[in-house]
Amino acid sequence: MHRLVGLILGLSLTVLATAQSGWNWPAEGPKHDLTKEKQAYYKLLMSTDKWNECWSTVQWLYTNTPDLHESIYQDGPKIIDNLLENDFTEERANRLRDSLLWTYDMRIKYWNDEASVMDRKAYAAFKMYYKTPEEYALLRELYEKLYSFSSSEISDFNITPYMTMATYYYKIKPEEMTATDVLDVHTKLTSVIDEKLAAGGDKKKLVKEQDKIDAFLNSLGDIISCEFIEENLVPKLEANPEDVNTAKKIFSYSLKAKCSDQPYFTTAGMVFFKSEPTYSLAKALADKFYRSEDYTKANTFYAEAAELTEDVEQKFDAKMGMASVASKLGDKRKARSLAYEALSIKPGAAEAYNLIGNLYFLSADDCRGGESRVKDRANYLAAYEMYQKAGNSKQMEAAKGQFPSIEEIFNENYEEGQKITVDCWINESVTIQRR
């Protein structure tokens, strides 16, 4: 008796709660009263876990008052999720799964908000069908539709499922989900993650998502190879040299497949950089050109990298790259100047002092006057002092081995500890020491 009273009271309260704006109730009459009764009754049934009766009741509303209120379609998936936990025949379960997705379609039809509802629909479908190969085409269609919206409208939890589906689909039906398709999905997901991070998204969570999708891609073994890039992507870029999307793929896949020694790597990188200049891209191109001894282009991209960052370590690395290029080109004075610029960014950096020390050490021919053995070896004294600042004991010993002998110092009327100026481009004061 008490339970009956409670049910009646609950039913009355639910009717009162829904008697407000936003509801499309039928006109006053028998249908109006029956609709209110059905709506309140299914809500009550949800609270008492009577899911079969609840589902048949809400279906009446779908049939007779399909635009009653968005909540009837929000509740539908909850009801079906609970029903699917029961031991139904596969035929009944499939009908319920179809109905669950249908509720999302009805929400879109009557209440729009397509992106948000698609976000939920795709995830609901994934949970139901990720182990059902016959439904992978449907999952692909849903996720392609979802990812046609902006990154801000895609939930973080809907990133890895898309890559999961693509990976499983490729393994089972590679003729339908090709290697190129999987790579396109990975590229799209990476781009969405980057956009979310740039918009201030949860970095820790998004980095984890990136790690997950990378792991799925890596699980496919040699899906990315230099041959794949050369056969499938390079011709597309050659046909359209301004194709930024293809350039991005070639560049990122070349890094993964270790094809950065191929000419298409830098070609694609420069197209990519022109569209989206970043420090990391400039630095990668600069390093590549440096290793291939194209020092002019290397210097250009090191300079670009230096301008594209305010991070101390990054700016220091870019300046040191420029100093190394100048050294390779034989411009020791400029190389030293750039190394000192790097030191102004990162005071005390051993790398910069080592570079200057090397410049001095290798300047014997530049600075040899042929009139004084002491002064002709003064560049090694200058190198020693730089290596000492760098804490490079090995090179200090190498430089010390080239110091003037005590006899040479004495014969030329110099003294240990005396200050002299190194001639030529070095033009610095050093302290005489003997080897």
Instruction: Assess whether 302 and 245 both reside in one domain.
Output: no
Residue 12 lies in a domain: no
Instruction: Assess whether 369 and 424 both reside in one domain.
Output: yes
What mean pLDDT comes out for the span 150-162? 96
Residue 57 lies in a domain: no
Instruction: Assess whether 375 and 328 both reside in one domain.
Output: no
pLDDT at 222 exceeding the cut of 80: no
Instruction: Assess whether 249 and 298 both reside in one domain.
Output: no
What mean pLDDT comes out for the span 19-41? 89
Which H, E and C letters describe the chain, residue by residue?
CHHHHHHHHHHHHHHHHHCCCCCCCCCCCHHHHHHHHHHHHHHHHHHCCCHHHHHHHHHHHHHHCCCCCCHHHHHHHHHHHHHCCCCCCHHHHHHHHHHHHHHHHHHHHHHCCHHHHHHHHHHHHHHHHCCCHHHHHHHHHHHHHHCCCCHHHCCHHHCHHHHHHHHHHHHHCCCCCCHHHHHHHHHHHHHHHHHHHHCCCCHHHHHHHHHHHHHHHHCCCCCCCHHHHHHHHHHHHHHCCCCHHHHHHHHHHHHHCCCCCCHHHHHHHHHHHHHCCCHHHHHHHHHHHHHCCCHHHHHHHHHHHHHCCCCHHHHHHHHHHHHHHHHHCCCHHHHHHHHHHHHHHCCCCHHHHHHHHHHHHCCHHHHCCCCCHHHHCHHHHHHHHHHHHHCCHHHHHHHHCCCCCHHHHHHCCCCCCCEEECCCCCCCEEECCCC
pLDDT at 14 exceeding the cut of 80: no
pLDDT at 176 exceeding the cut of 60: yes
Residue where a domain terminates, one of 233, 255, 276? 276
Residue 262 lies in a domain: yes
Instruction: Assess whether 402 and 386 both reside in one domain.
Output: yes
Instruction: Assess whether 359 and 412 both reside in one domain.
Output: yes
Residue where a domain terminates, one of 276, 291, 318? 276
Instruction: Assess whether 281 and 270 both reside in one domain.
Output: no
Residue 413 lies in a domain: yes
- The fraction of the chain above a pLDDT of 70, given in percent, is 95
Q: What pLDDT band is residue 310 in, cutting at 50, 70 and 90?
A: very high
pLDDT at 9 exceeding the cut of 80: no
pLDDT for 224 = 82
Domain of residue 283 covers: 277-332
pLDDT for 79 = 96
Residue 267 lies in a domain: yes
Instruction: Assess whether 288 and 360 both reside in one domain.
Output: no
Residue where a domain terminates, one of 304, 332, 360? 332
Residue 150 lies in a domain: no
pLDDT for 368 = 84
What mean pLDDT comes out for the span 199-216? 92
pLDDT in tens, 58-113: 999 999 999 999 999 999 999 999 999 987 799 999 999 999 999 999 999 999 88
pLDDT for 6 = 45
Instruction: Assess whether 324 and 356 both reside in one domain.
Output: no
Instruction: Assess whether 359 and 401 both reside in one domain.
Output: yes
Instruction: Assess whether 381 and 328 both reside in one domain.
Output: no
pLDDT in tens, 249-259: 899 888 888 88
- The fraction of the chain above a pLDDT of 90, given in percent, is 73
Residue 130 lies in a domain: no
Instruction: Assess whether 272 and 283 both reside in one domain.
Output: no
Q: What is the mean pLDDT of the chain?
A: 91
Residue 359 lies in a domain: yes
pLDDT at 235 exceeding the cut of 60: yes
Count how many domains the chain has.
3
